[in-house]
Amino acid sequence: MAILKIVKFDEPLIRKVSRPVEEITPRILTLLDDMTETMRAAGGCGLAAVQVGVLRRVVVIEVEEGNVIELINPKIIAYAGEQEDAEGCLSNPGNYGIVRRPAAVTVRALDRYGKEFEVNGKDLLARAICHECDHLDGKIYTDIELRPLTREEIKEMSR
Ligand code: NI
């Protein structure tokens, strides 16, 4: 496994639309492993392939420690409710914004064996799924944030 360099918000690549995975090759499996290692090393709870410079529809999420969810070609097929909370991104280190997201979502994707599955997520998991799926379309949370957190609020968060 390898820790990859994370693309930042000011790099044009972050705005690119990722292409679907047509075949789950060993390269895709290595990508998934490297993404998980990179996400953990950076202390994040989600990462999209575009953030490590690969324009493929691949996402990893770890909201619950030790439970990594790998999503290939994810599609949100249902959502319900609303939540507003602080959100950050490994491509925008040290910054957070208040973002409105669905309270719950259902995402359909392929797993690493090419099998279709669904995940129901609420609260932070729903937020992470939405955030990472947005990345696959070149969208970032600052596009839709209600407001950025102030330095003081960020300091409070880490306390
Ligand atoms: Ni992000």
Residue 140 Cα to ligand 1 midpoint, Å, equals 7
Q: Is the pLDDT of residue 1 over 90?
A: no
Residue 10 pLDDT class (50, 70, 90 cuts): very high
The CATH number, out of the four listed (3.20.20.150, 3.90.45.10, 1.10.3720.10, 1.10.645.10), of the domain defined by the range 12-157: 3.90.45.10
Q: In the predicted model, what is the mean pLDDT of the chain?
A: 97
Question: Annotated catalytic sites, by residue?
Answer: 132
The stretch 85-100 carries a mean pLDDT of 97
158 confidence band (pLDDT: 50, 70, 90)? confident
pLDDT bracket for residue 28 (50, 70, 90):
very high
**Coil, helix or strand at residue 37:** helix
pLDDT score of 159 more than 80? no
Taking the centre of ligand 1 as the mean of its atom positions, its distance from the CA of residue 151, in whole angstroms, is 20
Instruction: Name the band, by pLDDT with cuts 50, 70 and 90, for residue 46.
Output: very high
Token couple for 64: 């619950």
pLDDT band at 134 (very low <50, low <70, confident <90, very high): very high
CA 142 to centroid of ligand 1, rounded, Å = 10
Mean pLDDT confidence for 14-37:
98
The alpha carbon of 90 and the centre of ligand 1 are apart by a number of angstroms equal to 6
What is the domain partition of the chain in residue ranges?
Answer: 12-157
pTM: 0.97
Structure tokens at 125: 């998991």
